[in-house]
Amino acid sequence: MRRIRIVVAYDGTNYCGWQIQPNGITIEEILNRQISKLTGEDIRIIGASRTDSGVHALGNVAVFDTESRIPGDRFAYALNQKMPEDIVIVRSDEVQMDWHPRYQNEISKTYEYHIYNAKVRNPLKNRYSTFVSFDLDVEKMRQGAKYILGEHDFASFCNVRTNAKDTVRTVHEITIKEIPMDKFQASNWGQENSNLENEREIVIRVTGNGFLYNMVRIIAGTLIRVGRGFYEPEKIRDILEAKEHTSEGITAPPNGLVLVSIDYPL
């Protein structure tokens, strides 16, 4: 028996999340089915992160056990011949039989939340960013984000349905980047005479040792409220200190969220 690790990228728009569900197609279901067809075995993968319905990924990680003699690094190529267009195996390799994608020391996960901040919705941005028509004060969002850094009890920043007994997590880094809409994009979008400084993408990038259910989306939703002026930046500190689910900010929509990478120690 061998254990194969795969790194998976996917557009989550048409899926009911990662984990198998009784009422919809999931990423895990597709992977189990296609790997089983390839190997001729009944395969059940083990994933590192159970992304929600509509959430995307560039670097989710999973493992499966097989008797197949296909070289570890060739599974990616073989599986990509069978995958739908919105799921890609980025790479594959063979690992030790006791290697588990969730139970490793010093795991680091990075997520990005993408906001399309403009006066008019752009249909080409709908799948991968959340539209906000109100001007956002990015500097105030950055001030609020500073309170997220470090080790905290994030009970106020997780969904009430979480089953985590320990809600303490460490955020190693959080940045907020502005990407102005360039002239080429504006011309194609028929906005030659618009104020380009008002057309931008705002990317919230968060790296930590782990995240609670909906934690990144709640952080994003709360920072959006700071950017709109509903909250002062210090409100983030107050919400954290409350340690209550009822103190959470608004949960931002799933389509803006991307699991960028899961990094393991060498």
Q: Which of 52, 65, 86, 153 is catalytic?
A: 52
Which residues in 73-100 are b (16+ Cβ under 10 Å) and which e? eebbebbeeeeeeebbbeebebeeeeee
- 111 appears as a binding residue in the annotation: yes
Q: Is 238 marked active-site?
A: no
CB contact set of 43 (below 8 Å; sequence gap of 6+): 32, 35, 36, 64, 65, 66
Closest to 240 in 3D by CA, of 170, 152, 161: 152
Distance, CA of 142 to CA of 147 (rounded, Å)? 9
Using CA of residue 215, residue 26, residue 63, residue 256, what is the dihedral sign?
negative
Which pairing describes strands 257-263 and 56-66: parallel, antiparallel, or unpaired?
parallel
Residue 194: phi and psi, rounded to 5, are -85, 165
Could you give the 3-state DSSP secondary structure of residue 197?
Answer: helix
Which pairing describes strands 46-47 and 56-66: parallel, antiparallel, or unpaired?
antiparallel
Report the largest interatomic distance among the alpha carbons of the chain, rounded to a whole angstrom. Answer: 63
Distance, CA of 113 to CA of 128 (rounded, Å)? 9
Query: Catalytic positions, please?
Result: 52
Q: Which residues are annotated as part of the binding site for substrate?
A: 111
Binding residues: 111
